[in-house]
Structure 1
Amino acid sequence: MVNKIVVTNNLRKIRKNQGMSQERLAVRSGISKQTIILIEKGDRLPSLKTAYAISSALRVSIYDIFPFQSIWINKDHQKLM
Structure 2
Amino acid sequence: MMKGKITNNIRRLRFDHDEMTQKQLAEKTGVSRQTIVAIEKAKYSPSLELAFQIAHVFGCSLGDVFSYEITE
What interval of TM-score do these two structures reach, taking the shorter chain for normalisation? 0.7 to 0.9
SS at match of 1:67: strand
How many residue pairs match? The answer is 66
CA RMSD in angstroms comes to: 1.7
Identity of aligned residues (%): 35
Determine which structure has the larger strand proportion and give its number.
2
Deviation at 1:59, TM superposition (A): 1.6
Gaps of 5+ in 1: 71-81
| TM-score of the aligned structures, taking structure 1 as reference length | 0.69
| TM-score of the aligned structures, taking structure 2 as reference length | 0.77
SS at match of 2:50: helix
Gaps of 5+ in 2: none
Kept after mapping to 2: 8 A contact 1:29/1:56: no
